[in-house]
Amino acid sequence: MSLFKQLLIAICLFLVVAFAGSFVVSLESSRAQYVNQLRSHAQDAATSLALSLTANIDDPTMVELMVTSIFDSGYYASIRVVDLATDAVIVERSATPDNQGVPQWFTDLIGLDPAGGEAIVSKGWQQTARVEVVSHPMFALAKLWQSALGSLGWLVLCGIVSGALGAMLLRRQLKPLDYMVAQSQAIGRREFLTLPELPRTPELRRVVQAMNQMVEKLKALFQESTERSEKLRVESYQDSLTGLSNRRYFDMQLKAHVSNQEEHLDGYLLLLRVQDLAGLNSRLGGKRTDALLIAVAQVLLKQCEKHPKTRNLISRSRGGEFAVLAPGMSNKEALALVHEIEQALHALGATGASDVSPVAHMGLAPYTPGEAPLTLLALADQALALAETQGEQTWACVENGVVTRSGDDEHTWRLVLDHALSHGSFELFFQPVVYARDIKRVMHYKALSRLINEQGEAIAAGRFLPWIERFGWASRLDVMMLQQVLKHMETHDQPLALSLSAATLSDSAALNQVFEALRQYPKLRGRLTFEIGEEQLPEQAVLEKLTRRLQEAGFSLALQRFGGRFSMIGNLAHLGLAYLKIDGSYIRAIDEESHKRLFIEAVQRAAHSIDLPLIAERVETEGERQVIAEMGIEGVQGQLVGDPAPWK
């Protein structure tokens, strides 16, 4: 029972006890007074009647008339005139007066007995008769009943008024407690709230101050953990001169994107080399050469803005060598990007971004997930070497050792995918996500899509997703997948996770379709989690609105492929995310590479401070799982615990 209700009940009980005590004291005082009044009333009536009968005691008719007159004029239970000589009753009148609305239980409770009086009728010096009068207590009971009703009415009125005033006062005084409850609940949602206005009550003021201090301390600890983790990430994976990622990070991402067939897309690798860096350094000096390299890095960042998937995949390998990994990029887009970078580099000196225009060559090579990273690097190096020998053209694109001039069959893909989306020619595959310390226990299953071709073969998402995005059909795929997943979930009771694309998040019509589908399956509340890739995160306001709508509908949100933008975890802390999935590039060979372990440990501490579960993606070896379990990461997903497969 809440404190508010307890205090109200205490006030009501106090009023009831006060009324009962007051009524009992008043009743006892009134009882003695009414008993004396009844006795006096009876005695006065007996004395008066005896005096009146003195002259007429021998006339029975007159005696009866006088007794009747007295009896009818007051509250009497009985009046008798008894002959003293024979002890015979001369006249007797008795009756039971009306209860005047007094309930019997009240009469029994009061216990007010009738009172009597006697007087002697004399004839001369001789006593001839005795008058006996008994007064009925009904009039006294009626007065007591009216007094009780009046007291009860006053009690009810006082109770209502005091209850209303007490409720208002208690709500006002206990409002800080409600806010402290909200503070505690907000901490569970990874949000830190403080009460700026302290209550006037000293006891509550101390409690609120202590709560505010605790929240500020937790917020500071979380911020400190976040900053420490981000500092480790910058030191380990960022180039100190240009601000781009370094060779270590590039190698991690190259292995993750090229070797994984499930979650990553076909794309291109671009290598750029600034020629004669040593000569530039001797001619221009260290500062001007550094400025030139920074300018080249800015060119790459600016020209790749149109391709969001490359945002965290632009690296400075070493010296004057840069690399751009472009997943999901078509041949036409890759060639256009190379042309734009070439023109921007030529214009560096003219625009004033640098003192000179650097001599740079670029090599471009396509890749398909599943290839060997070293093979792709060798192919890109071959293209770079070819560009350095062809004269005026500063770039070359090589595929399997041959200059490529044509892209994929766009028309064929458009027909195939449009037919598949229209007829639901996609099959659901599921990959288990298990607990790191007990891989036999399943946390949930990740739902994935496979395109079924004419031969009945399942094509991995990495093959067709670039074309889905290029044609602007990502939201169509999301809605279709959601409908299939919801129907599938009715056949079992396991929790599932499903990815949403950036196109769906930015399309209000598609989002409305998503929530309309969820409303049709209210029994599935709490069992489906939507995942968003870190690289696809919308603006903070859009993300908060989406989270609220999902929570109101009974579903949750999580992030996958997280790690490249760890500094933003402070903005995500109050969203109430279900979990974070750490990008597999930070997990690969974590049992052998200490820098990854240090970074993930820092991430785990920051996430643990706000009670946010972590799941490691693409875990492939038992050594990786053991390290992950030791660090306290809750779940794992990857080939070690199960490949994607149809539902069993």
What single-letter amino acid sits at 121?
V
Q: Are residues 353 and 430 in the same domain?
A: no
In a domain, residue 526? The reply is: yes
Checking if the pLDDT of 349 tops 70, the result is no
Is residue 530 in some structural domain? Answer: yes
Residues 574 and 431 in one domain: yes
Could you give the 3-state DSSP secondary structure of residue 190?
A: coil
Residue ending a domain, choose from 160, 187, 203? 160
Q: What is the pLDDT of residue 150?
A: 82
Cα distances (Å, whole numbers) of residue 177 to 2, 35, 169, 203, 212: 11, 56, 14, 11, 12
Q: Which two tokens stand for residue 98?
A: 């009306």
Confidence (pLDDT) at 83 = 81
Please state the rounded mean pLDDT for residues 84-96: 81
Q: With a cut of 80, say whether residue 361 has pLDDT above it.
A: yes
Same domain, 617 and 491: yes
Beta strands in 96-227 (DSSP E): 115-123, 126-135
For residues 131 and 105, membership in a common domain is answered with yes
Same domain? 386 vs 306: yes
C-alpha triplet 549, 552, 554: angle, nearest 5° = 110
Q: Please identify, among 403, 427, 458, the residue that sits at the C-terminal boundary of a domain.
A: 403
In a domain, 266, yes or no: yes
At 258 the pLDDT is: 81
Dihedral sign for Cα atoms in the order 312, 534, 628, 604: positive
How far apart CA 81 and CA 90 sit, in angstroms, is 5
The answer to whether the CB of 432 falls within 8 A of the CB of 234 is no
- Residue 648 lies inside a defined structural domain of this protein: no
Q: Determine, yes or no, domain membership for 223.
A: no
Shared domain check, 557 and 522: yes
For residues 327 and 536, give the distance between their C-alpha atoms in angstroms, rounded to a whole number: 14
d(CA 520, CA 479): 14
d(CA 221, CA 610): 10
Confidence of residue 353 (pLDDT cuts 50, 70, 90): very low
Mean pLDDT of 235-253: 86
Residues 416, 454: Cα–Cα separation, whole Å: 10
| More confident call, 484 vs 564 | 484
pTM of the model: 0.64
- pLDDT, one tens digit per residue, over 487-540 is 999 999 999 999 998 889 888 899 999 999 999 999 999 899 999 988 788 887
What average pLDDT does range 386-414 have in this prediction?
68
**pLDDT band per the 50, 70, 90 thresholds, residue 446:** very high
Q: What mean pLDDT comes out for the span 622-637?
A: 92
CA distance 114 to 506: 91
Other residues' Cβ atoms within 10 Å of the Cβ of residue 253? 23
The type of residue at 258 is V
Name the pLDDT band for 402 (thresholds 50, 70, 90): very low
Q: What percent of the chain has pLDDT over 90?
A: 20
Give the Cα separation of 563 and 583 in Å (integer).
6
Same-domain check for residues 375 and 475 = no
The answer to whether residues 312 and 536 touch, using CB atoms and an 8 Å cutoff, is no
Statement to judge: residues 625 and 485 lie in one domain: yes
Q: How confident is the model at residue 406 (pLDDT cuts 50, 70, 90)?
A: very low
Average pLDDT over residues 117-126: 80
Mean pLDDT of the chain: 82
Structure tokens at 165: 């005033």
- Based on the domain organization, do 362 and 507 belong to the same domain? no
CA 311/CA 569 separation, integer angstroms: 18
Which of 139, 160, 181 is where one domain is finished? Answer: 160
Let me know if residue 105 belongs to a domain. yes
- Segment 181-204 shows an average pLDDT of 68
Q: Per this entry, what is the length of the chain?
A: 648
Contact between 355 and 349 under an 8 Å Cβ cutoff? The reply is: yes
Range 41-55 average pLDDT: 80
Our count of domains for the chain comes to 3
Segment 281-290, tens digit of pLDDT: 888 888 888 8
DSSP state of 419: H
The answer as to whether 41 is a domain residue is yes
Range in 193-202, 212-221, 352-361, 568-577 with the lowest mean pLDDT: 352-361
Domain with 128 in it: what CATH number?
A: 3.30.110.200
- Which distant-in-sequence residues (6+ apart) come within 8 Å of 544 by Cβ? 575
From CA 539, how far away is CA 583, in angstroms rounded?
21
Q: Please choose, from the candidates 247, 379, 377, 396, the residue with its C-alpha nearest in 3D space to the C-alpha of residue 322.
A: 247
Instruction: Determine, yes or no, domain membership for 293.
Output: yes
Task: Give 61: exposed, middle or buried? Use CB within 10 Å, 0-12, 13-18, 19+.
Answer: exposed
Owning domain of residue 37? 3-160
| Residue-wise DSSP of 566-600 | GGGHHHHGGG--S-EEEPGGGTTTTTT-HHHHHHH
CATH number, domain containing residue 382:
3.30.70.270
Tell me how far apart the alpha carbons of residues 359 and 230 are, in angstroms, rounded to a whole number. Answer: 35
Q: Are residues 392 and 420 in the same domain?
A: no
Do 18 and 96 form a contact (C-beta atoms < 8 A)?
no
Say yes or no: 435 and 364 in one domain: no
- Residue by residue, DSSP assigns 377-390 as HHHHHHHHHHHTTS
Per-residue pLDDT at 260: 67
Least confident of 25-34, 75-84, 114-123, 443-452: 25-34
260 and 324 Cβ atoms separated by less than 8 Å: no
Q: What's the CA dihedral at 434, 440, 445, 451 to 10 degrees? A: 110
**Mean pLDDT, range 42-52, rounded to an integer:** 81
Handedness of CA 373, 253, 315, 397 (dihedral sign): positive
- pLDDT for the residue numbered 479: 93
Pick the closest to residue 54 from 63, 65, 45 (CA basis).
63
Residues 301 and 374 in one domain: yes
pLDDT at residue 407, rounded to an integer: 40
